[in-house]
């Protein structure tokens, strides 16, 4: 078969992938490119822009059973055109960290939020700052986000720089839940209130920030293949809409 990156649909997209990823990137790992702040990639490779010339990569590395629970990261310093010395451990997520990864960078400050799906279907969230590096222990946001799908995502408000994590909750699987990070602390778990009513469990979640605003768009697909959307206006969720009701 024709390699994924050689298909007609991918010809133009490949030109947009940063040159330092090149042809060495496994085609099956490419999920999306969002030039505002991030490039998110499934399982092992997640670059996020820190500054105009710097970036960070978080990935799964398993030289031993114990270390399989600990994601690693490296930084690229654009001004020096070099990577840092080597892979550095973050923190243990408590189980094999070979699931989906999402890493997002805050606008206006040197801060990142990392969400890792482990082999036990737990969602583990860690924060990074320049002074404290990674938080000592990840927070467990959910214990049932599925091991097969990516039922969580992260986005930052682009003016206030509050980080929002939306995810499937273990006891209410058809309604998205969320928590916010203001740079120093997390809110408690809150419901988005976006309940389709009688819908199937959430399988996929995607967030996108509106430039120069605190607005965030949420889109999710349930196990019945229906697609829904809602809007975060900076203070509350609303505008629930059914985008597709046909599997």
Q: What is the DSSP string of 64-119?
A: STGGGGS-EEEEEETTTTEE-SS-EE----SS---S-EEEEE-TTSSEEEEEEE-T
**Token code pair at residue 186:** 């997390």
* pLDDT number for residue 238: 96
Q: DSSP string covering 22-60, please?
A: GGGS-GGGEEEEETTTEEEESSS-EEEESSSSEEEEEE-
pLDDT of 182 strictly over 70: yes
80-89, 99-108, 218-227, range with the lowest pLDDT: 80-89
Higher pLDDT, 25 or 95: 95
Q: pLDDT by residue (tens digit) across 227-246?
A: 999 999 999 999 999 999 87
Tell me the average pLDDT of the chain. 75
pLDDT at 150 over 60: yes
**How many Cα atoms within 13 Å fall on the side-chain side of residue 14?**
16
Q: Record the pTM.
A: 0.74
User: Higher-confidence residue: 198 or 219?
Assistant: 219
60 to 14, 52, 94, 96: CA distances (angstroms): 24, 25, 14, 9
pLDDT at 5: 45
Average pLDDT over every residue of 56-74: 69
For the chain, percent of residues with pLDDT exceeding 90: 35
Enter the tokens of residue 122. 């737990």
What's residue 12's pLDDT? 46
**What is the predicted pLDDT for the residue at 236?**
97
Secondary structure class of 206 (helix, strand, coil): strand
DSSP, res 211: T
Bridge partner list, 97: none
**Taking 60 as the threshold, does the pLDDT of residue 10 lie above it?**
no
């Amino acid at each position: 078969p024709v390699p994924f990156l050689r298909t007609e649909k991918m010809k133009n997209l490949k030109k947009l992938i940063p040159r330092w990823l090149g042809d060495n990137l496994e085609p099956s790992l490419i999920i999306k490119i969002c030039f505002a702040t991030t490039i998110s990639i499934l399982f092992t490779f997640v670059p996020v822009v820190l500054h105009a010339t710097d970036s960070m990569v978080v990935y799964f590395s398993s030289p031993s059973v114990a270390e399989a629970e600990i994601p690693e990261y490296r930084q690229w310093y654009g001004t020096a055109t070099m990577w840092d010395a080597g892979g550095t451990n973050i923190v243990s997520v408590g189980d094999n960290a070979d699931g989906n990864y999402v890493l997002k960078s805050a606008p206006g400050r040197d801060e990142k939020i990392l969400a890792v799906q482990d082999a036990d279907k737990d969602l583990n969230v860690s924060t990074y700052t320049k002074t404290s590096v990674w938080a000592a222990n990840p927070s467990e946001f959910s214990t049932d986000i599925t091991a097969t799908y990516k039922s969580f995502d992260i986005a930052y408000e682009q003016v206030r720089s509050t980080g929002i994590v939306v995810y499937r909750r273990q006891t209410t699987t058809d309604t998205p839940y969320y928590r916010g990070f203001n740079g120093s602390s997390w809110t408690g778990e809150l419901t988005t209130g976006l309940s389709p009513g009688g819908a199937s469990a959430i399988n996929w979640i995607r967030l996108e920030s509106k430039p120069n605003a605190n607005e965030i768009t949420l889109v999710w697909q349930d196990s019945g293949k229906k697609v829904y959307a809602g809007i975060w206006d900076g203070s509350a969720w609303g505008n629930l809409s059914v985008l597709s009701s046909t599997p």
